[in-house]
Chains A and B, each alone.
Chain A
Amino acid sequence: MSNTINFGIDLGTTNSLIAKFNKGTVEVFKNPVGFKETLPSVVAFRNDRILVGEKGRVYLEKDPKSTIGQFKRKMGTTESYRIKSLDQSKTPIELSAFVLKELKTFIHTGETPEAVVITIPASFDMVQSNATKEAGHQAGFKQVVLLQEPIAASLAYANKTTGNELNNSQWIVYDLGGGTFDVALVRIAEGELKVIDHEGDNFLGGADFDALIVERIVVPAIEKKGQFSDILNQLKSGSGRLNSKWYVLLASAEEAKKELSTKSAAEIDVEVEDDAGEVISALISVTRSEFEAVIKEAVDATAEMLRTILTRNSLQPSDLKFVLMVGGSTYIPLVRNRIKELLGIPVNTDIDPTNAIVIGAAYYAGNKPLELSEASATVAPVCPLKLKVSYNKASQESDEMFSAKVDGDVNGLSYRIVRDDGGYDSGLKQLSTRISEDLPLQSDAYNSFTLRILDAHNNPLAVESIQIAQGKYSVAGQMLPEDLSLVKDNLQDGDTRLEQVFARNTILPAKKKMTVDVSKTLVHGTEDEIRIMVVEGSSTNHSSSNKSVGVLLVSARNLKRDLLRGTEIDLTFEVSESRAVTVHAYVNPSGPEFSDVFTPKDRRVDVKALAEEIGMLEERIEQEKAEALEHENYEVVDVLTKLAGPVQELQGEAVLLTLDDVTDHKYKLEDRKRKIAQELHQATSTKRIERLRAEYVEVRDEVSETVKESGNDMEKRQLLEIVNHEHVFLNTNSTQRLAEHISKLRSLEFQILMRSPDFLIGWFQSLTAKRETFNDQVQAKNLIEAGKQHIQGEDFDRLLEVNKRLFSLLPQREQESKDMRHFTGIS
């Protein structure tokens, strides 16, 4: 265990932060909700909840009787705040303790510090300092060490830079934050840092600059574009017609202000209704010089305070080493330049102005010894309570009641429930013997909550996990009995493969979108077509073994222009509760839309596709038989020989069917085809799986090498994702899954190779070797010339373009590999 304090807190007027010193470095902790380092120093008492920070800030302006901010200004006074909703008063010390306790929740390391360094303004007197110490004790810290903010900022600087001789010198710490301004003269003499003098304005900061942008730049520009009688009042008044726009404009102004720190102009997008009901949309440009003009007066006032310090201490600007800039508003170039210009002192912007004070506090804490006994620091809190919780673990509602019975002494304890996705926080609530809370649920998801019982110092005594599944995870809805899959061409093997659209047990209704590539060019006006085939059955089967749900035909006859190979088609699949499957195909934004509905009662069998499938099946049986004979696998040969007769018979019958056959004969044929296909796949699956497993391993090793050499982070992640799951699909006995992953690996490799100069040059050379076969010789010649130049000039992006265009000039048969065959026309 460390024997130094290590934890530092910047307990600010507007915002507070917490950091930890660990082996020479400092970590500034982030709010587990929203991930910001800063916690607004605001406490709200809403109904029976205590909300600290961001949530409290929301109510600061609109519920001021129960929400308190800026209480740091009243530290050490006898004043207290009357809280309307509680009907009692809270002192600034108590309110500060709430903020300190909330900051403890930022610590993700699981530690519960009992000692801390807290920073205070240079202006704090003894009473105010003691009040801060007391707040620390009330928050559960046994040892509280105070540190002046300008000293903390100076320490952050001293620890960040090396070789800067600060000894026996003096400088100014200029702290312009979100709502307050402080300036201090700091001197180091005989190794001791001291604040010599200070000045400040409690009502000046970045938030005032945002308002100035809106009032002086944006509003006048809006006024010119529409009819407004009293726009500023309408915006700023709580009852004003445009009050909601005021907050939108403030947020935009803040963004613009940040942008103007690095750019010379920023734009603010405005949409507001004028008095005549006309919507005014405008993009208002704010230049840096306009912004600087509106804040100049305020910035000059800060320089004046700095000058006062110099005069009071009989110092010349040349006596100062630098002005150390602290606080988010010192990012503004005018602030830096104006101080330099008016006072002639170099401005030091070496430290991060937003967290410099807390970093300095942590450095100080890292060297400050603990004065606590080991025993007191290590005793873990013991939970004196027994909890009995009750709630529905599955819900269809948007919220669910959680209740718990608490046995034991609940006096002085509180509880808090947070949703682990960062969307809900009950706030701190006083614990009684019964807890009852409505928990809001994310739809269609597992909702995981954590209930914490906390002692008076916010240290957890008990933690309980709450899990509620909302929506689709409940079994109340109608479920899909089998997988629904889309049949796609597997061009490499001249076969088809299945891509799962909906998994078995999906709760209906369900909807899914997919994008597929057209794998052959459709010439408009011809009889050619693309088949969007949906089949029912395990998606690990071969498509011919599954039951056809329907085929949506994208016919070239209905196309106004050619549909080129490689074009994307967007498919939308919807399954209603009654299991009717609707398929929509959008060819391109301006092209035709194809759509059809397949209902379970009205089963569709496309006669043309059926005949083709039977043909493919027969061919496949012959191929497999020949292969089995070659390997002397007579058992398989035997099974396949028995299948040959029925499939030939089937083919004969299919030929006799007319395209518009209305009898149920086609369904019978389809059933028979399916049975034969199942037998074929069963007989040959062992061989195929072994072959695919070996192929997968080979491809994986090859692709891993390529990714290692030339892949980017995203590609490395994609590969890792496949490899991490390989134990699943290598053991499933599913040829479909193996083929799918091999195909994914190959696309990944291709994607990388497309960036590789060697590959592109090699491709170019193999294309030029086929120059005689190009459809357009003149164009090919020009492209080959251009390609050579791109190789010489090492312009590989352009070489890729040339390769693509040359490839498109190859005759169709050359573009396709010899085994390539289209059944559906999509891949």
Chain B
Amino acid sequence: MDIKQVSTTEQLKPLLSALCQLYELERKVQKRSEFESLRRNVEKMKAAFEELGYRIEDPDGQSYNETRVDLEASIAGSSTEDLAVTEVIKPIIRYVMRDSSGEYTKVIQRGVVVVESRIKN
């Protein structure tokens, strides 16, 4: 599939929504005791999507600065220095292309996050 087509089509919306739900599901069940029994299913779903070329990237805890364009951020707190992601509303979704020379990815959904300064007042 041509990435240009992927990026410009509205058809991806339901798929992106399903990927976001999967991410959310994983995050919710991680905190629960029954996670171990569900982990396999969640991982297999992620692997199936990855087979199709769609990868979920969790930006939680990653550093943020003004050059990152794979994230749509809201800054909480008053400082804008040494920022890191503290809340993920939507994960980053990448389209993965592979050929003999390696792997290339393209951001097809930017992560929606809240970032905060690591510097404590």
Contacts and interface: CB of A to CB of B under 8 A. Distances in A.
Interface of A: 30, 33-35, 44, 46, 49, 51, 54-55, 58-59, 61-63, 238-239, 243-248, 250-252, 418, 420-427, 440, 442, 444-446, 448, 469, 473, 513, 515, 570, 586, 589-590, 717
A329 B71 CA distance: 24
A55 to B, nearest CB: 6
Contact of B76 (A243, A422, A473): A243
B118 to A, nearest CB: 13
A143 to B, nearest CB: 29
Given A35-B8, A63-B80, A425-B67, A445 B114 contact: no
Contacts of A247: 74, 76, 87, 114
B5 interface: no
B107 A244 contact: no
A421 B87 contact: no
12 contacts: A34-B110, A35-B8, A51-B66, A55-B69, A244-B116, A251-B89, A251-B112, A252-B89, A421-B70, A421-B104, A422-B110, A444-B103
Given A46-B66, A446-B102, A54 B72 contact: yes
Q: Which 9 A-B pairs have the closest CB atoms?
A: A247-B74, A244-B76, A422-B107, A423-B70, A238-B78, A243-B76, A62-B75, A425-B69, A244-B114
B67 A244 contact: no
Contact of A570 (B40, B80, B94): B40
B30 interface: no
Nearest to B73: A58
B102 A473 contact: yes
Contact of B69 (A46, A245, A422): A422
Contacts of B86: 244
A445 B77 contact: no
Contacts of A46: 66
Nearest to B76: A244
Contacts, number: 116
Contacts of B112: 251
B67 to A, nearest CB: 6
Contacts of B67: 49, 424-427, 440
B105 A445 contact: yes
Interface string B17-52: 000000000000000000011001101100100000
Nearest to A269: B24
Interface of B: 1, 7-8, 36-37, 40-41, 43-44, 47, 66-70, 72-80, 86-87, 89, 94, 101-108, 110, 112, 114, 116, 121
B107 A421 contact: yes
Contacts of A238: 76-78
Contacts of B68: 423-424, 440
B80 to A, nearest CB: 5
A422 B76 CA distance: 24
B66 A59 contact: yes
B69 A33 contact: yes
B103 A422 contact: no
B74 A423 contact: no
Given A244-B116, A445-B102, A59 B75 contact: yes
Given A445-B103, A445-B105, A515 B44 contact: yes
Given A59-B75, A63-B80, A248 B104 contact: no
Most B-side CB within 10 Å, residue of A61, A62, A442, A446: A62
Contacts of A35: 7-8, 108
B70 A422 contact: yes
B66 A442 contact: no
Given A445-B104, A570-B44, 6 more contacts: A58-B66, A239-B77, A244-B77, A423-B69, A473-B102, A590-B37
Contacts of B77: 62, 238-239, 243-244
A424 B101 CA distance: 22
Contacts of B76: 238, 243-244, 246-247
Given A61-B75, A247-B114, A421 B121 contact: no
A442 B80 contact: no
Nearest to B78: A238
Given A58-B73, A570-B40, A589-B37, A49 B66 contact: yes
Contacts of A515: 44
A427 B78 contact: no
A244 B69 contact: no
Contact of A446 (B41, B70, B72, B104): B104
Contact of B106 (A252, A421, A444): A421
A600 B103 CA distance: 30
Contacts of B114: 244, 247-248
A63 B79 CA distance: 8
The CB with the most chain A CB atoms within 10 A, among B74, B106, B110, B121, is that of B74
Nearest to B103: A445
B92 to A, nearest CB: 8
B20 to A, nearest CB: 10
Contacts of A243: 76-77
Contacts of A58: 66, 72-75
A424 B75 contact: no
B40 A586 contact: yes
Contacts of A251: 74, 89, 112
A55 B72 CA distance: 8
A51 B69 CA distance: 11
Given A34-B110, A570-B44, A239 B78 contact: yes
B72 A34 contact: yes
Nearest to A60: B75
B25 to A, nearest CB: 12
B42 to A, nearest CB: 11
Nearest to B101: A446
B87 A244 contact: yes
A414 to B, nearest CB: 15
Contact of B103 (A49, A245, A425, A446): A446
A248 B87 contact: yes
A469 B102 contact: yes
Contacts of B66: 44, 46, 49, 51, 55, 58-59, 427
A427 B69 CA distance: 10
B102 to A, nearest CB: 5
Contacts of B108: 35
A679 B8 CA distance: 54
Please indicate which of the listed interface residues A59, A238, A423 has the most CB atoms of chain B within 10 Å of its own CB: A423
Contacts of B47: 513
A248 B103 CA distance: 33
A421 B75 contact: no
B80 A245 contact: no
Nearest to A44: B66
A349 B96 CA distance: 39
Contacts of B87: 244-245, 247-248
Nearest to B88: A248
Contacts of B116: 244
Nearest to B40: A589
